[in-house]
Structure 1
Amino acid sequence: MKKTDIILIGLMLFALFFGAGNLIFPPFLGMQAGESFLPAIAGFIITGVSLPFLAVLSIAISADGITSIGSRVHPMFGLGFAVLIYLAIGPFFGIPRGASVAYEMGVQPFLTSSSSGMLLLFTVVFFVGVFLLSLNPSKIVDTIGQFLTPILLIAILALCLAAFYQFDSPAQAPAEKYETAAFTAGFIEGYLTMDTIAALAFGIVVVTSLRNKGVHDQKQIVRYTAMTGLIAALGLAFVYGSIGWIGVHMQGADQFDNGAAILTTASSLLFGTFGKLLLGMIVALACLTTCIGLTSACAQYFHEKWPRVSYKQYVAVFTVISFVIANLGLTSIITFSVPVLVMLYPFAIVLIILSLLHPLIGDSRTMYIGAMLFTAVYSLYDGAVAFGLPVDGVGAVIGWVPFFNSGLGWIVPAAAGAAIGKWAGK
């Protein structure tokens, strides 16, 4: 396989991950972490970069899609898990977040005051475009992506280089959640990128691309997937670290309630109105492309599983749901998504790890069941806490495990459940 093909597939994977929505989290993390930025961004990069890389690799090893990995627990679990993944990266969180970021970075900076009416008008136009273009998305998304992703990267690179030279505000004291456990706080913050769960859907795209290039040997597929994944991972880590630094050192960053506002203000300070306009237009177009791709992917998956409903009808349903949720606003969408992602991510991480270890430990169903059951106790508890439910009594019973207070109490129980299940299945 040619090196240029590997690079192009790696850049394609980078573009799949690098939705414009991902721009908003590192600057906000930098603002909140302050003096604790380095351990915080290290944790963020693990869940925002390393785990997505491993997820894509797990799909290559399994040689099939997301449903097959979950089906090692039970076929119904595999189907249900895949449905939740597609709904999370699609109409419930991913697509509405993309539309909201497009509004906050492409329209709101030019308004004299925030207006729910303008958000409504923008999302009407935005989602009409998403619906129409999702009916035949492949050529449009590919054409826009070939030109848009490099332009977006150049704009972000210019922004970061200018910031390194001009922003010299000292790092502030970290916010409460970053004071004593900055690494784990950053680790959980990385959930919000949704890239690990999205990678379970994107992995099959990489495998298909390699097969189209004539690679059919399973070991070669895994090898080339690792190489393309490394290209995407290095690019993401560089971007996240750079724009996170802006949140740390931009004066007045602590006045904002999300990363979109930080980046928009930074572009205005560094390049004036032109910079703000250029960044806003590029991000808005990137969000549109991302939302078209996600809408199409979700509609294709659901149509494949339940073909009585047409692809066009699924596109319409997902567009309407996304439109409604997008009008809640970016901050609200992020707030509502946190508890769901806190519950969903541990299952995804455990499945990815077990899948990667499959050549060594096999695929005993009881092992997968044990790991999922033990994980469920802690991931559901953490989700309930994030929802604000009164579960202190439950916490007093299960809170003796390591890392519990950091929101990572599921790690040791998941390993124990897998070991017990493996032993019981002999």
Structure 2
Amino acid sequence: MTFTFFSMFFGAGNLIFPPFVGAQAGSRTPLAAVGFIVSAVGLPILGVVAVSLAGGFERLANRVSPRFSSLLGLAIILTIGPCFAIPRTATTSFEMAVVPFAGATPRWLLQLAYSLVFFAAAFLLSQHPEKLSKTLGRFMGPLLLALIAVLFVACVAGHSGGFARPMGDYASGQVSRGFLDGYQTMDLLAALYFGIVISANIRSQGIDDESQVRRETALAGVGTGVLLIVVYGILAYMGAASGSITGIDPSKDTGATVLTNLTSALFGPFGTAFMGLVFVIACLNVCTGLISTCGTYFTNRFPVVAGRRMPYRIWSAVFAAFSFLVSNAGLSMIIKVSVPVLSALYPIAIVLVALALTHNMFARRFPRTYFWTVLLVGVVAALGCVSSLADVFGGALPLLDSALGMLPLHDAQLGWVAPAAVGVVVGMADSVLRGRARR
């Protein structure tokens, strides 16, 4: 189960963000990597554990309200699915594996052909989600790890110099900056729903006891966390080594640039092709897992649409086809629009997981803390999303920006923390008053 979980989590973003952190942090990479790992690994694994302890995402979200559970579930599924994350797997792997060798062939035509083949393969692999461990866990996951290991060994053997000085956002406060950049993997949102597929795999092995299913799911999450920590550490080191060989411009370069610089320096054109293969495998793994998760969710939630039965095969085909269309809009546009939306959902997911982990010790005694904390954080997150989207499309909302700027920790992108604290206090008071009223 661990390799299956790892393969579903580890995609394009997981490959490019740690090297980018290392390239900017340079000699201070260990500190930056610690911050990155805490948010990019710790939060998602805590999410897996929280959902397992609660007995599923719906039971957890229902502690706020049934309507909230439905809306948040749908928003997360569409976000980590056909609207943003699934199309991005095709566009990112295309940029790494095909564009460097495109030559004079029209790029739009190559992207159309590549994405068609890519989503056809992902659709076929996703038709048996309960058997994903046979395709992802036993083959693709280990193969991806082997490819990364080969690149790491070559990097260690070929890098004899020191490391560059920290630069850009990492010139100071490397731990906190790494923590914030760990959000960009957005794996916490995926963690809330990947448990659906993992649970199906566990049940297919003859385990029917729900408590044991939850325990096995949590163990798979912990094992995945260990693997991710090792791989992120390796990738951050490679980024630091790459930065010492070829400098980057953080304002326009990405982690893909960092890895391409490294592989080109070590292997030449073969290195570029090698890195492209790594990206294709990683992206196909995640795409397959996301289609499976989205298909399973919609099959359970909407088994009949407009009087017509909608089995899993139809839903997965719909998501694959829609993602194919979106992917051809281009990677740049997908990322620009997705970042504000994802940044709005992440704080809500964080506070929900935090309350779930403290449920027996605290939140059970004050159940209204779920409602008030999520409400206040959600309002601030939604307003921040509106502000960011206006900026993406060339607009401006100065009054809203000024109001959000008054929140403590806003400059550190943690403006939701103070509303969360207020929500806890108000929720406690509300719970006590309601308890007294019942007496």
In the aligned structure 2, how far is the partner of 1:33 from the partner of 1:182?
7
* Contact 1:299 1:314 survives alignment (8 Å): yes
Pairing partner for 1:382 from 381, 384, 407: 384
Match for residue 98 of structure 2? 107
2:281 aligns with 285
Closer, same or farther in 2 for the Cα pair 1:252/1:336, shift >3 Å?
farther
Which residue does 1:149 correspond to in 2?
141
Task: Select 1:424's aligned residue among 410, 415, 430.
Answer: 430
Letter aligned with residue 109 of structure 1? P
Cα 1:125–1:205 change in 2 (3 A) is closer
| Distance apart, 1:117 and its partner CA | 2.6
Secondary structure of 2:167's partner?
Answer: coil
CA contact (8 A) 2:13 2:184 kept: no
Q: Does structure 2 retain, via aligned residues, the 8 Å contact 1:54–1:352?
A: yes
CA contact 1:247–1:253 (8 Å) conserved in 2: no
2:437 corresponds to: none
Name the structure 1 match of 2:188.
196
- Correspondence for 1:125 among 108, 117, 125: 117
Q: CA deviation at 1:327?
A: 1.9
Match of 2:58 among 67, 72, 82: 67
Q: Name the counterpart of 1:83.
A: 74
Check the 8 A contact 1:109/1:264 in 2, yes or no.
no
CA contact (8 A) 1:172 1:248 kept: no
The aligned residue for residue 359 of structure 2 is 358
Shift of 1:374: 1.8
1:269 to 251, 265, 272: 265
Specify the code of the residue in structure 2 equivalent to 1:335. K
Judge conservation of contact 2:140–2:285 (CA < 8 Å) in 1.
no
Measure, in 2, the Cα distance between the counterparts of 1:300 and 1:215: 19
SS in 1 for 2:333: helix
The 1:324/1:33 distance shift into structure 2, 3 A limit, reads: farther
Using the TM superposition, give the Cα deviation of residue 194 of structure 1 relative to its aligned residue in structure 2, in angstroms: 1.9
Equivalent residue for 2:372, pick from 370, 373, 379: 370
Q: Is the 8 A contact 2:4 2:132 kept in 1?
A: no
Query: Given the superposition, is the C-alpha separation of residues 19 and 336 from structure 1 closer, same or farther in structure 2, using an over 3 Å criterion?
Result: same
Q: Pick which of 74-83 and 324-333 moved more.
A: 324-333
Residue 303 of structure 1 deviates from its aligned partner by: 1.9
Change (3 A) 1:130 1:416: same
User: Is 1:321 aligned to 2:315, yes or no?
Assistant: no
Q: Which moved more, 1:95-104 or 1:25-34?
A: 25-34
8 Å Cα contact 1:258/1:331 also seen in 2: no
The question of whether the paired residues in 2 share the 8 Å contact of 1:36 and 1:174 is answered with no
1:330 pairs with 2:324: no
Deviations 1:368-404 (A, max 9, x none): 1110122124322432343325344334445444322
Pair 1:27-2:11 in alignment: no
Residue 151 of structure 1 aligns to a residue whose secondary structure is helix
Aligned pairs for 1:231-250 (under 5 A) are 231-250=223-242
CA contact (8 A) 1:381 1:391 kept: no
Change (3 A) 1:186 1:338: farther
- Residues 1:301 and 1:236: Cα distance change in structure 2 (over 3 Å): same
Q: Of the candidates 260, 280, 291, which is equivalent to residue 295 of structure 1?
A: 291
How far the C-alpha of 1:201 sits from its partner, in A, is 0.7
Encode CA deviations 1:81-137: one digit per residue, 9 max, x unaligned: 111111111111221111122212322232336823322221122223334444455
Q: TM-score, normalised by structure 1?
A: 0.87
Correspondence for 1:403: 409
Q: Give me the identity figure in percent.
A: 37
- Name the SS for the 1:425 alignment partner: helix
Distance 1:327 1:39, change over 3 A: farther
Q: 1:67 aligns to what SS in structure 2?
A: helix
Structure 1 residue runs without a partner (length 5+) = 1-8
Q: Which residue does 2:209 correspond to in 1?
A: 216
Contact 1:152 1:283 in 2 (8 A): no
Q: Which 10-residue stretch deviates more, 221-230 or 401-410?
A: 221-230
User: Structure 1 residue 202: deviation in Å?
Assistant: 1.8
- Map residues 16-55 of structure 1 onto 2, 5 A cutoff: 16-34=8-26, 37-55=29-47
Cα distance in 2 for partners of 1:397, 1:278 equals 48
Change (3 A) 1:369 1:37: same
Query: In the alignment, which of 232, 246, 251 is matched to residue 252 of structure 1?
Result: 246
Kept in 2: contact 1:60–1:207 (CA 8 A): no
After the TM superposition, which of the residue ranges 271-280 and 226-235 deviates more from structure 2? 271-280
Cα deviation digits, residues 329-359 of structure 1 (max 9, x gap): 3343223221111101000000001011111
Query: In the alignment, is the contact (CA less than 8 A) between 2:7 and 2:286 conserved in 1?
Result: no
Aligned-partner Cα distance in 2 for 1:317–1:337: 20
Cα drift, residue 243 of structure 1: 1.2
- 3-state SS, counterpart of residue 103 of structure 2: coil
Aligned amino acid, residue 63 of structure 2:
R
**In terms of mean alpha carbon deviation, does 55-64 or 368-377 score higher?**
368-377
- Structure 2 CA distance for partners of 1:184 and 1:272, relative to 1, 3 Å: same
The match for 1:4 is: none
Match of 2:301 among 278, 302, 305: 305
Compute the displacement of 1:153 (Å): 0.6
Structure-2 separation of matches of 1:313 and 1:395:
43
Distance in 2 (alpha carbons) for counterparts of 1:382 and 1:165: 46
Question: Which runs of 5 or more residues in structure 2 are unaligned?
Answer: 433-439
Deviations 1:252-286 (A, max 9, x none): 25167332343234233323444443442343134
- The residue identity in structure 2 corresponding to 1:380 is A
